[in-house]
Each structure stands twice: as C-alpha cells, then as structure tokens.
Amino acid sequence: MTMHTVAQQNDPLLKILSEIAPDSSKTTLRSWIKDGRVTVDDQVITIANHIVSKGQKISVNNKKSFAERRLPILYEDSHLVAIEKPEGLLSVATTFEKTETAHSILKKHYFPRKVQVVHRIDQDTSGVMLFALSDEGYEGLKALFASHDIERSYCAIVEGNVIPLQGIWKSYVYEDANYVVHSTQNPEKGSVAITHYRVASISPRYSRLVLTLETGRKNQIRVHCQDHKHPIVGDKKYGSTIDPVRRLCLHAASLAFIHPVNGKKLEFISPIPEVFKKLVRDIDHA
C-alpha cells in the first residue's frame, strides 16, 4: 500500500523518508528513490537531496510487479487488480480492434482465474485502471462506478492558458454514428457530463490541468476541453492541431475508493509522464 505524508517544513527528501520509515536503512530509502517509487505532489523524484517544500505531499508506492514487461501491476488481491496502462494499449477488445489489450494480457497472467472489465480508459490515455478478479469484486466495483463513489483524477496538458483557474464544466454528451462524442446544452439530446478542473501549471503555450470526474461519460474530458477552446495537446479527434510529444496528453493520475469487499480505503497514483513536463513547468497555482 502507498504511504503518504505532508512536509511540515522545507527538508531534503531523504530526511523526510527516514522520519516516516524509521526502521528502514538509508540504503533502502535511497533504493526507493532510485527505483521511482517516491513521488512529491504526484511527480516521481529520483534525487535523494531534493528539497521538499512545506505542504507538499510525499508518497511511497509499492514496488511494481508486471503482468508483462509493459503492464505494471500497482496492487492486487483476491478481488481486484489495479494496473498502470501505458499509452497506446487498448483497455479491452472492440468490434473493430482485437489486438493485444490490457484485458487480454491480464487474462493470460491470471489464467485460469476470471478477469472482468469494470471500466475503460481510452487507448491513447495512460494511467490507473481497475479490473475485477472475483464476482464479488466485479459487482462491488460496478456499483461504485455507477454511484460515482470512486474518486478519479486526471492530468491533461491543454492548448493555451485556461481562465478562470478552476471551475466546473457541465454539458450533455452523445455519440454519433461515427463514434465521435459531441456536447450540447440540450438535456434531451444527451447524458449529463460534469468535469471539475483546476489549473496546476502554465507555460506560454500550455496549461496543465488536474481534472476530477463527477460523471464518467465516454471521451468526457476530451470533449469538455474542446468545448472551452482548450483542446488536449495531441488530440486530433477533438480539436488539437499540434502533437509535439506524439501522444494524447491525457493521463489517469489517481483512483481512490473504499474496497467493495473488505472496506479498506485504497488509493493508487500514477506519476505524471515525463514527456508532459517538457511542455509545462511546475508553476503551482494551488
């Protein structure tokens, strides 16, 4: 499980880790940092003497295991598994695409156990994703998603500087015959979609947004960013005309929920991809 703490004062990262894990040697703590298991405000830090500022959140994540080389497992128990899906990998097979998917990799890994799909993220989106490993886990997770009792946070790099710096986007979305999602303010034409956003960082050309979903409609974030004239970088389907890092700049950064079977609070964090940082430096507005 992930360990968390908040810095009480400006201190080197190694010093803070020694305080939250006093039974671990300095060598062990340095290995955590070197292996990319330590994040500060959800960004991987690999320098032991990095100065953490007061109020920043430090997390130590479990050492990753892999279903295959490209599919890290963040957590597993008898009822569910949390993975870190890479950009470009389909979540599940579709009518038109039956190539290798996160689902097919997990089915091989856990065979003969059943792996059940509880939600999806876009092929070109990276980040945290859940699958069920038991019927009880499946029913419980599906109920959590249906009732919106799962906290989901995304990171997006969008074109331009978003103003105001935080807010709520609401519309009604529907999908056309060509599988393109559209947004309207007419409640009779679609299903309600609500996205909360906050500007975390800016650069002259881009903004880094932290987005949380109140609803989970298909392509919801992508459509809302297009609606407000700030398409996600690399999202040619929804209005972007540039692709500087050759990928959709959308990342499922975290998932938090109460385990549907054992009642424990779970939180999984996937650090912001390094390529995003090339576009936007961390100028914190929070």
List the catalytic residues. Answer: 122
- Which residues make Cβ contacts (< 8 Å) with residue 133, sequence separation at least 6? 76, 77, 78, 79, 80, 81, 110, 113, 114, 115, 116
Strands 191-202 and 206-213 come out as antiparallel
Strand boundaries in the chain, DSSP class E? 3-6, 11-12, 38-40, 43-44, 51-52, 57-60, 65-68, 71-76, 80-85, 116-117, 126-132, 151-159, 166-175, 181-184, 191-202, 206-213, 250-258, 265-269
Beta partners for 223? none
In contact, 22 and 30? CB cutoff 8 Å:
no
Beta partners for 71? 68
> Phi and psi for 246 in degrees, rounded to 5?
55, 45
d(CA 199, CA 205): 14
d(CA 246, CA 1): 33
d(CA 4, CA 20): 9
Inter-axis angle of helices 26-34 and 13-20, nearest 10? 120
